[in-house]
Amino acid sequence: MKFYLLVAVLVFAVAVIISYFYDFLAVRLTAHQERKKLLAQLTAQPPVPVDFSTPEGAVLRLEDAFRQKNIEAAVACRDFATEAKLWLQERGQLSLEQKTAMLPETVRAMEKSFRDMLAKGLPADWILGKSYFLPHEPFADGIVAVNKYTQVPEGGLYSQQILVTKTGNEWKMVKTLPPPLDDGA
């Protein structure tokens, strides 16, 4: 009797393990197929000029500045004033007068922080990968969210949303949005 019970438990355990690995492989295969389909969609997009005439081109200009290790060119690709305004808007407890008074110092602090970060080393994911874009989306008045995908040499594909704004006749990068929180759905 104990032998049959042991065999039944063993058969059940093997069935559970096989089911788990089948599900695991099916999920991996589906993810691989979806990534392959997305990459085909991304590579089919028209080339983006590497200049400040489009939001995506501004992102590519920043990447070029990173590759050249040119801090001044990288700083020229950013709009710290818009970034500072967004940051101050997130501080709801501050009055309009306080936000206005804090703006110049906040702009200087953000630029200094950016320069300090670049002096320590450039972000590898911005240097090594190949960038692709899907159409950008409106974010706020005069600001768009660029949907950037980076394919790294190892083959991985990573996505980012980058805020870009039009400053005069040129587009400038504002900041990279944090990835959305996984809500478990």
Q: Which CATH number fits domain 55-176: 3.10.450.50, 3.40.570.10, 1.10.4160.10, 3.40.50.2000?
A: 3.10.450.50
The answer to whether residues 143 and 164 touch, using CB atoms and an 8 Å cutoff, is yes
- Lowest-pLDDT choice from 42-51, 84-93, 117-126, 141-150: 117-126
pLDDT the model gives residue 65:
92
Domain assignments of the chain as residue spans, ordered by start: 55-176
Backbone angles phi, psi at 4, to 5 degrees: -65, -35
Which of the pair, 22 or 142, is modelled with greater confidence?
142
Task: Give the mean model confidence (pLDDT) for residues 9-33.
Answer: 71
Task: Give the mean model confidence (pLDDT) for residues 115-128.
Answer: 77
Which pTM does this prediction carry? 0.76
- DSSP states of 47-77: PPPSSTTSHHHHHHHHHHHHHTT-HHHHHHT
Q: Tell me which H or E stretch contains 109.
A: helix 96-120
Report the C-alpha gap between 175 and 89 in whole angstroms.
Answer: 15
pLDDT the model gives residue 123:
62
pLDDT the model gives residue 9:
75
Max intra-chain CA distance, the chain: 84
pLDDT tens profile 138-185: 998 899 999 999 888 777 788 899 999 998 999 999 999 987 655 444
pLDDT tens profile 71-112: 999 999 999 999 999 999 988 788 889 999 999 999 999 999
